[in-house]
Amino acid sequence: MSVEGLVSNSLEDRASTKNLAEQTYRGTFFFMGWDPHFPMKHPATCDSVAICRFKKKLCLKISRSAPVCGTNENRIKREQLNENTAFIDASPLYGSSSKDLHKFRDGTTGFLKMSRFNNQMVLPFDQSKCASKSSCKATFTAGDIRVNLFIGLSSMHILFTREHNRIATALHRLNQHWSGDRIFQETRKIVGAEVQNIVYEEFLPKILGNSMSVHIGPYEGYKPDVDPTISNVFTTAAYRFGHGMLQVE
């Protein structure tokens, strides 16, 4: 698979799922001895310095995904809560909430916010992670907080953000009577359609091969009765295959 294919896998993976950490007495961690606790076993012998240091600790803090209401009760298995939309809707650009949308939209215009860096238009910088505005050069902010995981993923965010603004410019030129809100929403639908086309016409055929026609088949129109939810089995196990395809060199 090409580099673009691997990046597409990472982008769509992060677009579809994001777990919400459960809050406890000290933020997003569980501590042994407190309810709800989640004890973890450790080796009985010290095979390394790290394990010896670990054995001296009285508690082990871990992060755990928040459950969906009603699960983990009455013999109903616990299911994680997905904070992202499960639809292929370019949510890494726009976020999955109204708050995110207002954060990344450029005011009331039809454009997404961008910053100029080395005479190139890039994503806005996350000023909250910077010691000062003058030293903020490497951390981007986008609709998905994992935008900075690796440069390939960041570049895809930049590419589609530029694409949004390119389309918005063209729509404004053709429809100068449109409001900024209509330009933004129409552009957002077009960009979402572009991402869907890449997923179903280029990405999935490469992954599924000849079985594409069996498992997916031709598009037969929107079906409102189909549950679009992403299963935890898929996102936490099956869809990890892309990570295993990454090579050191």
Amino acid in the structure at residue 232: N
pTM: predicted TM-score of the whole model, two decimal places:
0.74
Residue 244 has pLDDT above 80, yes or no: no
Q: Are 68 and 79 in contact (CB under 8 A)?
A: yes
**% the chain with pLDDT above 70:** 69
∠ Cα 203 207 79 (to 5°): 90
pLDDT in tens, 124-156: 888 776 666 666 566 888 888 888 888 888 999
**% the chain with pLDDT above 90:** 27
DSSP string across 25-78: TTBS-B-TTSSSP------SS--SHHHHHHHT-S---B--BPBPTTTTSTTPPP
In the numeric block, the tokens 């190139």 are attached to 120
pLDDT computed for residue 184 by the predictor = 97
Q: Are 82 and 68 in contact (CB under 8 A)?
A: no
215 is in an annotated binding site: no
Q: What is the CATH number of domain 3-18+87-244?
A: 1.10.640.10
pLDDT in tens, 36-86: 555 555 555 655 555 555 555 555 566 667 778 888 788 888 888 778 888
pLDDT in tens, 174-205: 999 999 999 999 999 999 999 999 999 988 89
H or E, element range at 164: helix 151-174
Domain boundaries, the chain: 3-18+87-244
CA nearest to 98, candidates 85, 116, 87, 79: 85
